[in-house]
Structure 1
């Protein structure tokens, strides 16, 4: 059940993401539609020279479309996952070109890679490679700069190997498909051969493969036979065949492969999803000229198990209807090969020797297509085929998707613009200042010789101005909190080399829930301890209570592994959220830090009793307790009465830089 929900979640994310990507490409596709429309208009007006100029620009727009798709997809995914897009985009282009050029997947007129499916896949693979193996920004001031540099080089080398493997796999696939196509003997001039030909075209198109390229030999033979038959008919030597190139182009590809003009009309007539309606309206200029990429990828149709069925079946039904109508003499035979970009209805008129019957037949086929697409489409958007949606169901649907397509994009892109701003802030911090650690003592009121500090990260700009840790949320937003954790671990361990560790001084460092749930964190801490020559017993790891309510087995394993090394593990800010005694008992913590919020109203009997109850945690769990946020003598006395010996707060000392912490520690040692 969980797996099905997970698959559904991934699929829904795929649907949303692919729709957004293709909306971002909408200006390019609309510009292409406009240039085609103007070109055809100029042709009709007899201005062929001017028309050829617009068709040239259309070819350019079509030529850059796949490579633009690659760039935008990689940028979108990297931004969504908080990875620097300036790294991901070059990786994606490298992989796309490296796979396309050696395998001759390029446009002959421009030399640019021309396969949208390969563009989409390489962008996704490249982005995921960069998301899965995040690296720190190179910082020459870090002690491990050379090691980090070599890691990045190794990362890029591994990426090149993946690219080479994919290029070879593509070469093998193309060789296999070429070999397989030679064994596929189809004759589109027969009924069974024609149905098989159309079925394979639709099936390949539904997974983003250009079926005309795969069946090139059959298509080429069909075109040549059609030309010969039309030439013989024109001189009276032979009757017109029912089946021919014009038959397929005029009646089975209206609005593009899959007769997607029917799907477009189905959306406009029956959809209650404003996002899809807006998409359909946007696709009209393209569908008029039988270009269906916006619907193909925007809904999407490709890899969509529901919409693939009518996408493949509608042309097959159309084949039977059109063949029957022409064979019975209800409509003229197709007497010419119509340009595939000729708009529907007009193409039917021209194809059937300027006959209105061809227009009527196309209208019938389009209507049948709408009827076939309708139940599948309504099922796809979550509507019942038998009953109209009630208003409550309608509201439920709108809450599960965004209310409008443009609203969806505005919200999503607004989020990513915000992330872009956050990324810019973080990059500015990394390049124009430094992260430093301040240390706040944890005081044992019964044993002043016991030394311990909590390390708290701060940011210092070029002027020396300190910024409190409000920037931590930026790292969360970017999905880079693990990188900040690793940076903090380095800074703390480096500082600990100058602390009186021989006197039993402990330093605690905060680790996010994401890091403590990562198996890699154990190896990283062990490696950094060895690098800085720090005894594990001098280190304490604090995790927030968020981690203990996630039910993650890996967290428990990591806590046990840290303790096995001799590292103390503490739960920080306990009582500030939803963690409770049962949650606490799941993990074997050494220390529990009670959040200051629990102290705020202890003048009231109820709050006082609650704090006293929480102070009993040590008796149940065996954990050492620390009272956080002690700011007054009254609060100090109260926590002492509760039996808590270790306190932390402004009453004792504020967080201080390393040099002041050293002085504070030395004074304690002397006293």
Structure 2
């Protein structure tokens, strides 16, 4: 069996089966709803916690000592709700993809999250012992610490609700009843079953696990280890490899991989944001190396495979008309991290020659950046999350000032160096084909 046959008959079907999993689709599309919260919230954080003593003193002299409080309020009200948004959005997308009325699934998922979350808060008044405040939800579980719990609850509720709807196990209203009323009654049976299960889980954890909750257990047993794995060289290698590897088969690798890992990376970013606010953003204080910015603005810098280096090679050194024209068309979108014209124009998809630098380049960037932060050469990234479409160097300036802008510039040059020999080979082949075509046309004439 040839390599192409093996890829088409064995590898591609397995990849597509994974990509099309219902849970993965709901996770990938649902987490996107947190993007506005993260981007806008991080901009407020940038203004409030800009790393400059002179700037902080200047703002304090104008607006007073507590000038940052309103800015942190917005940051907490956006980035601090990521877990809660995932609870709502992922259940919504799951039910919608199943062809069911989705809002009911979202509401049920939200209710289950609150049922299985602790509703007491430790509060320490000055000069007194700890007291419990009943009737409140600890804010940390609504944000980064509740991300994985929110995702799992949303997927479970979305599945249960959709199963009942597809099996037609529901209360049916007569014709003529408004759709809103009919949908509400349709959700009664799955909601009752789901809430009973949630309450049993709450009772189990409260009395069998020393007043714990499902959300706390998931955080300890699943989320904390996942955040730890994502913050290792092995974890970042897998992430950096998987994106271009999937793209080789024509699958949007960044979308698929982000659907799997972005919740963990956003939690890492939120932890770093909290340390940044406290003025303790160091590895010694528990800061994470691998964050959402690491993923969006370095591994996927200028698009999957970091193809901007390839486009620069094409602009400067291409001999073939094909590559010259493609570089002119591709440079503008590539600067804004949109590189589909390059991926399908060269093409890189299903192209064994160009797949090598396409896979190697982001891996090199990831490992070098990891080493730079781990060694202290670069500070850990804070909570500022530039839009993924912001061009390289500019995004680096927002993330960490001049050092991160220079790092992006260095990685762009490195990418061009890696791509160059493979580009020369492909360009030479294209140029030879063009010459042959011109000569053939001349003979025929």
TM-score range, shorter chain: 0.3 to 0.5
Q: Which has the higher helix share?
A: 2
Normalised to the residue count of structure 1, the TM-score between the two structures is: 0.30
Q: Which has the larger radius of gyration?
A: 1
